[in-house]
Structures are given as C-alpha cells and as structure tokens.
Structure 1
C-alpha cells in the first residue's frame, strides 16, 4: 500500500462497491446487505482506514456531537463540590457511551461581553445544553440558548415548554429530616440555606414569607426551606449563605449559635438544618470551634448524601439524593431532546440517612 492516507474511495474500490454504498456501511443506516457491510469494513481494516471524518459527518448531519453543560459558577468552585462532580460524572459517562462529548460553560455574569455573560453561550457549537443548577424562561442563560435555537434540559429549575426537567423531591426530603429532629425531641431548630436570592442574604433572614410565590431561579433553596415549615417548624433563625461551601457553613454556625443574636439565650437552637452536606460539615466544624459538642449540644443535618471522608469519624445525618443517577437521566433526556423528543418532568426520590451528627435534644 502507498504512503497516501486511505480514503473512503480507496475502501470502496477495494470492496468493489460504490462510494455511496461504502458510506452507508459506516453510517450503519440505509438499505445495505450485511454481507456487503462486512466486506466494506474488512476492506477498511486492510487499508487502515479509520472511518469518515468526524467533521465531515458533522457537516452532513448538521450536528456537532457536543452537549454544552452550563454550571453557573466558577469552575474552581464547581470542582470543589462533590455534588456537582457526581452529577457531572453521570452526565459525561452516559453521553460518552453514546458517542457525545461535553463542553463545560460557566453561566455567571462576570465577563467582558456586552451583557456580562460567558461568550461561549453565544458562540459555542453544541447540539443541546444542560442547565445544571436551575433555570427558567426569563433566565438570561436560557434566553440566549433559546434564541439560538439550542434545545435545553433544565436540572432543578422551573418547567419550561419544550425543555425537559429533572429534579429531586427535596421539599419532601427536607420535611422528613426535620421530622427526624422533631422525633428526637428538638423544638429549637435553625436553618442554614443555600443562596435564597430575591434580595435575601447573605446573612440572617428576618422576613421570610412562607406563602410568597417561588423565586424561579432559586427553586432548590426555597423548596428545602419550605420543607422545614411543612414539618410544622418555624425556624428560630435562618441564615442565608453565599454558596455550598464548608467555610460558609462555619460562618452560619458562628451566627446561628451566637446567643447575642437572640432576645433570650434560651432561643439558641439545639439543631441546625443545613441545605447541603458541605454546609453541614462547616456547621459541625463551626460548632466545635465554639466549644460545642456534636451531637450532644447541637445536632446537625445536611442534604445530598455525598461521601466526605475528611470528616473522619463524623458521618452526617443527611438527605440522600441519587446524584450519579440524576446525571445519567439528564444525559438520556438530553439525547432524546436532540432527537426531537421532549419527555415529561422527572422527579427523583430522596431518603433520610441517619449518621452520627444528630441525636436527642439536650436537656437545658
């Protein structure tokens, strides 16, 4: 064989078929006999032909083979979060098994573009996009993608016509873990929330209206907070954090457990519901820095069910959600979306997992 790189024409000639027939053999579609396909593939192997150009396939199909994943924050923070990593693992693994690649796109508003948005949202060639944490019809990220005609899957956001949604029963999970604390005798319960948005926080929230309409961009935070109220608990205090970070949990603990922030020291909580496991881990550390024992003096519960081996002997009492499965489902419904099929909303179950960071309410 010559040093010339083999082409589809060379393969067709070796197999004794037309170029169009050889092309059909590689595309695995169209009216072609199995014996003919095998003859073409055998000829390709003999010649060292690897298959049609990926770029050529893209040009012919009008598809890129790439799915954009919009994660809404700085990459360095996303990759500190085991929740994001677990979901991304499920997404990328499932898409990869179907021959699709992933382009990570921060969706924040700190860029030098005219609207402050990531320029990739305007220019990236993708077949579809997954908004990893929230989204709604008036979200600027969604609007950019929608105006470009890019189909969008939304994770933990609002239902939007034409966009499949995947979420978990976090309101029910939050209610269940609050009930767990009530069953242990706790009556003074505080909450460390993920960002609430809508003018709330960061800091103490003094005027939260449980009956107010949902703020669409911050659905998970409000759903989880309302789950606490669903259990019949009015929190003694609510601290809105700036994000799911251990240090934010430490700040929350310092404030929620400070007697100076209460009219009467007897109002200081004996339990704190944190809206993520990273926040809960920070609350545990913050409580101990104040000289409090966990769970003897204060119980701490989280949300997510992630593995945090660096907590040592502590095992968080938490709400487990199927993170990797969520990522796999996000990928599957996005593949369906690329093929023109919009599925019904998918909501996944959660479950309380008892750990070592919660116990009976202290007698004081």
Structure 2
C-alpha cells in the first residue's frame, strides 16, 4: 500500500474505499502509529492551520460576555470549514506588548482582532513584519488590517433619536471603559475625545450628537471599569440615587450587560422600567433571565463572526477583501416608554 493511500485514509479527504481505510487504521493500531505528524504536514503546506484571535484583557471577561461568545462562535463555524483551529491570545490591559512574546513563539496563518480593542496595538508591527494577514473590527486603526467595522456613532445616535422622540430630555450615558485603567465614575467630554478605545469613544459621540450641549437634553456621562452587569449597576446608582428632579428619565448604556446593570440598580432603588426610567443597550444578545425585552442595537454577533470568517477565508487564499461595515438594527423592546415629565 502506498504512502499517499495511507495519508488519504487518515485525512478522510480522498477517494479511498472504506475497506482500505479500515485496513490502514488496523495496521496503524497494531504498530502504535497515531497518524501523520501535523507539524510535518504544516511545513509541506506552508500553513500552520491556526488562526490567532487577540482578546483585550482577561479571557474570563470575554467568556462572560454573550456578545463576544456569539462572535467567536460564528467565526469558529467558518474556521471549521476552512479548516483551521482558533487560538485565543489574551493581551493584558496596560501592557499589550506582553502578547508579542506568545505571538512570536506561535506559527499562525492569520490574526483576528475582534473584540473592541484599543486604537493602537504594538502587536500589529510585529505581525506585519512576519507577513501575517490581519483582520479587525475597526480597531486597531491601521491600514495594514482588513476591517469589518461598525457604525458605532450612527447606531448610538439612532437610540438617542428614539428617546428624544419619546420626549426624554434628562438622559444619561453609561459607557464601556474609555481607557485600560478606567475606574467606574463620572467622565467628561475631554475624556471621551481622548479615549483609548474607539468603540467607547464613537458610541459616546453618537450619544452626544443627540444629547450634547447643542442637543435637546442635559446629559451625564459615566464610564465603567468593565462592561458587565455589576459595573453597570454601580454606574447607574451614581446617576439614579439623587433627588427626583435631577434624576435622568432615560439611560443609554453602551452594551446590553451594562443596560441590565442599570435595570437592576433602578429596581433596587424602587424605580420602574420603563414607567419611571427608560433603558437602552447595545449588542442584541439573548437575555433569557430577563423577563422583558431590552431596547437595543442588534449587531448580529453570530452573523458578524461568520462574515469575519468569510473575509478571513479570502485573506488565507492570498486575497485582500475590501473593508466592510457590519449591519445593525434598532430593536425596540419593553424597556423604553414616553417620558412622564
């Protein structure tokens, strides 16, 4: 039996009869042979079969975020078809250069920046020097990266216009971190303009397009240290635990998890959503523990991940797909209503 026949029997990719496959595997079992060496195969093909996915901060936070999980799931579906494996690489906040050590020691066919990273990233120069194709979601902002971006500013402004149309004038904004070392607390326009993270900055600017100094409302900005339910609730208490005449009638949160924190804080303070407080989110994730339906921007995480996978397929084939913008949809739920005052 030829070497090529045995290789095809193990790979399952060739026209080899089932009886032949059974004989090959039986002989391999008898010899204690586990199959072709994947490293040798990758050297012959010039590919490692591995795509790196860089995650800002701890992986724990990504796994707790249902939107991040949905994007990774969609991406993995296409990688399975290519086929290629996915390697998650945590990039520590504040010391992003530490990820270069892991990147430099790993054979990668491509790298994806998919989960709201900073505008600049030292890993880009390293990867470009190695000739590794890169795909991003709008950040890092570098022309060497192919992007599937999002109109964060326009989508958030759409939420603002919805609330303005419902008569809300005292509207506050709960933001994701502006910087890697952000603490949950008040923020200013200057903080927004100098933000390290483009998604946070652009969503805040979209809010201010409607509710800024020239808009129809007074506004309050609060950033969080982590975009999760707990920090969303902490930020909301700063806004809501005040006299009624100073309390916002609506809160625009930059993620669905932050919005759920706002809802939790409102309920703890005896406020009804949406009768006393309208709340909006951003992402469009499933919230099975929430009895209502969140008004939010649905950015279709699974579809976004699959589209990134198709763009990645082109990059791996030596093509350079054009940058694109991911579709979003305003989804009106039960957490918004006309302002009472």
**What's the TM-score, normalizing by structure 1?**
0.80
Are the equivalent residues in 1 in contact too, given 2:121–2:140 (CA < 8 A)? Answer: no
Determine which of 202, 209, 221 is the counterpart of 2:200.
221
Are the equivalent residues in 1 in contact too, given 2:169–2:218 (CA < 8 A)? Answer: no
**Where in structure 2 are the equivalents of 1:259-338 lying within 5 Å?**
259=242, 266-311=245-290, 313-338=291-316
Structure 1 residue 256 and structure 2 residue 254: aligned?
A: no
Structure 1 residue 190 and structure 2 residue 190: aligned?
A: no
**What's the TM-score, normalizing by structure 2?**
0.86
* Separation of aligned partners in 2, 1:268 and 1:290: 12
Are the equivalent residues in 1 in contact too, given 2:159–2:330 (CA < 8 A)? Answer: yes
Q: Which moved more, 1:160-169 or 1:45-54?
A: 45-54
Cα 1:267/1:84, change in 2 over 3 Å: same
Structure 1 residue 154 and structure 2 residue 98: aligned?
A: no
SS in 2 for 1:239: strand
Which residue of the partner structure matches residue 229 of structure 2?
246
* Separation of aligned partners in 2, 1:320 and 1:8: 52
* Separation of aligned partners in 2, 1:102 and 1:335: 13
**Where in structure 2 are the equivalents of 1:1-364 lying within 5 Å?**
8=3, 11=5, 38=15, 44-45=20-21, 47-48=23-24, 53-109=37-93, 115-117=97-99, 119-134=101-116, 138-197=120-179, 201-208=183-190, 212=193, 215=195, 217-231=196-210, 232-233=215-216, 235-259=218-242, 266-311=245-290, 313-363=291-341
Which blocks of at least 5 consecutive residues in structure 2 are unaligned? Answer: 29-34
Are the equivalent residues in 2 in contact too, given 1:190–1:272 (CA < 8 A)? Answer: yes
Q: Give 1:328 shift.
A: 0.8
* Separation of aligned partners in 1, 2:164 and 2:94: 43
Which blocks of at least 5 consecutive residues in structure 1 are unaligned? Answer: 1-5, 13-21, 29-36
SS in 2 for 1:208: helix
Q: Give 1:161 shift.
A: 2.4
Q: CA RMSD in A?
A: 2.9
Cα 1:236/1:80, change in 2 over 3 Å: same
Q: Which moved more, 1:201-210 or 1:243-252?
A: 201-210
* Separation of aligned partners in 1, 2:150 and 2:178: 18
* Separation of aligned partners in 1, 2:116 and 2:264: 29
SS in 1 for 2:188: coil
Cα 1:204/1:256, change in 2 over 3 Å: same
Q: Which moved more, 1:51-60 or 1:329-338?
A: 51-60
* Separation of aligned partners in 1, 2:163 and 2:132: 45
Q: C-alpha deviations, 1:251-285, integer Å up to 9, x for none?
A: 1110011327xxxx633210000000000000000
Cα 1:201/1:136, change in 2 over 3 Å: closer
SS in 2 for 1:293: coil
* Separation of aligned partners in 2, 1:319 and 1:110: 29
Greater Cα radius of gyration, structure 1 or 2 = 1
SS in 1 for 2:64: coil
Q: Give 1:339 shift.
A: 2.2
